[in-house]
Amino acid sequence: MKKILVVLLLLVCLTNAFAQENKTLPSLFPVRGFHLDLRIQVMTMPALRDFALKLKQNGMNTLVMEWEGTYPFQKHPLIPNRYAYSKEEIKSFIKYCDSLGIDVIPLQQSFGHVEYILRHERYKHLREDQKDVSQVCPLETEGDKALFTDLYTELAATHTSRYIHIGGDETYLLGHDAKCKLKAEKEGKSKLYTDYIKMLCDIVIKLGKRPVLWADIALKYPEAIKSLPKETVFVDWNYGWDMSHFGNHQKLMESGFEIWGSPALRSSPDNYNLTQWEKHFKNIRDFIPAAAKLGYKGMIMTSWSTSGQYSSVYESEADLAELYAIRHVYPLSGFNILIAAYFEALKSKSPLAITPFVYKYAIEQFGLDKTGAALFWDALKVSPYEIQQGEVKSPIPMSVQQLLDSCAVAQQKLYELKPLKNQQEFEHFKLMADIRVYYLSYQLVEKQVNQPTFDDTQRPAVIDKLKQLLIDSKSLDERFARLNKNFLYPAAIDAENQLRNMKVIDLLHRLSGNK
């Protein structure tokens, strides 16, 4: 009897000790995941599988797939693009993720950001605007409902998840055409938005799924969302701004809907030539604990390969020839450190300690010493400013030459470091630094030719500089292709390399008169 009492007493003590210890730990988000944007830079299927395994190994249970043109819709064969996977590949990938315990949620944009659908003549009657083909008209109810019923039905047939993400963000054309403008004037833009979103939610619910949507427009119209189905999940995306950036955040919290959060590790103004590393680390550090404190039920890291906006090319006033994604970002293959920071941040109730984390990562992942880790972090943080129309967007005045000089110093720091392991991962950082210096070197030339003092006598020297840049770019192209060989498809690699050199080639042809 005494032995039993002793055992019970020990169990009570251990239980109490465990409870005390876990007072310092967060309640984990039930939904912990990652969002993959396949609008451009389409990952190979082996790369997708490797990424899913990485998520599993780091405690994730969800993967939001923005398939866009890579999903092989059979009833709508104009929607898939050249990189579209086969149905068999999709099913096999989802089966693999299921075996890992990774819930694959399809994201199908259904309101704004649907250029890739509305560009086709077949869907022109659904457009809110015949020139800006980014958004469906929410009052084309019959056509919209038929289209998205088809798309959701196909997605539901291949995805085992109980969720379908319907998008719904950045609907900037609300109330644009005549009939939508009339309804907005009579009932308000919020009614225009929520009536349409409710229709989409109802389609999803009839398929036995729960609708998920971005929360930015809901924050703008918090009273109107009360009419949406209670099953709806809102995703509050925050990339480093105040919680009420989109509207009254408290109203969303009081709405009674389930809420997930989304930071970002690639977002504006990141582009192919710039990554604001420190901004993304701070976003992870600040937003995840705030969302946990508010009681969010999920956390999904977004990773945008592009802005979601497109430049339209028309072959006549009415006929759209092509759409080009505005703003490309370096592929996800180069962002393991931020992905690891996200994983780390989900494990602790305390905010991510950025500098110690980066030092630890550099030491453990690359075998650098503490001094090397400090140099590595310094190099990443240097002058994270973009250039707009020839002007450096910095808090204090800075010339293009000064920005180039600063980044060249950071480039040199990276080259002085000698990683003892994981050299290929480190090569991504060096390549990104080289691409940035290449880009800024071109910007310096562009700045020169746009000066009022530029005349024909300076043309030969500028042509020589541009030719040298293109010689340098061949090495960048080869390295980019080598580092991303198994991550992106060859055509996607070629497209990224062409994009990087486009302005250099165009200016060279302009000045040299090549025919």
pLDDT tens figures, 105-125: 999 999 999 999 999 999 999
Residue 479 banded pLDDT, cuts 50, 70, 90: very high
Confirm whether 4 is domain-assigned: no
| Residue 423 near residue 479 (C-beta atoms within 8 A) | no
Mean pLDDT is lowest, of 10-19, 274-283, 420-429, for 10-19
Residue 515 banded pLDDT, cuts 50, 70, 90: low
**pTM over 0.85, yes/no:** yes
297 and 376 belong to one structural domain:
no
pLDDT at residue 504, rounded to an integer? 97
Confirm whether 372 is domain-assigned: yes
Confirm whether 432 is domain-assigned: yes
Confirm whether 211 is domain-assigned: yes
The parent domain of residue 230 ranges over: 25-347
343 and 441 belong to one structural domain:
no
Helix or strand or coil: residue 202? Answer: helix
152 and 83 belong to one structural domain:
yes
Confirm whether 12 is domain-assigned: no
As a whole number of angstroms, the distance between CA 43 and CA 484 comes to 10
Describe the strand order of the beta sheet including 31-37 as a list of residue ranges.
103-106, 62-66, 31-37, 298-301, 258-262, 233-237, 210-214, 163-165
Average pLDDT over residues 238-264: 95
pLDDT digits (tens, 9 = 90+) for 68-99: 999 999 999 999 999 999 999 999 999 999 99
337 and 411 belong to one structural domain:
no
Q: Which of 308, 327, 347 is the last residue of a domain?
A: 347
Total residues belonging to the chain: 515
252 and 335 belong to one structural domain:
yes
321 and 359 belong to one structural domain:
no
Confirm whether 11 is domain-assigned: no
Q: Which of 305, 329, 347 is the last residue of a domain?
A: 347
330 and 366 belong to one structural domain:
no
CATH number of the domain where residue 196 is located: 3.20.20.80
57 and 205 belong to one structural domain:
yes
Q: Which of 347, 376, 400 is the last residue of a domain?
A: 347
119 and 215 belong to one structural domain:
yes
Cβ neighbours around 231 below 10 Å, total: 16
Helix or strand or coil: residue 7? Answer: helix
Confirm whether 57 is domain-assigned: yes
**15 pLDDT higher than 80:** no
Return the C-alpha torsion angle 369, 375, 377, 380, nearest 10: -140
275 and 373 belong to one structural domain:
no
270 and 386 belong to one structural domain:
no
114 and 195 belong to one structural domain:
yes
Domain count, the chain: 2
> ∠385-390-392 over CA atoms, to 5°?
25
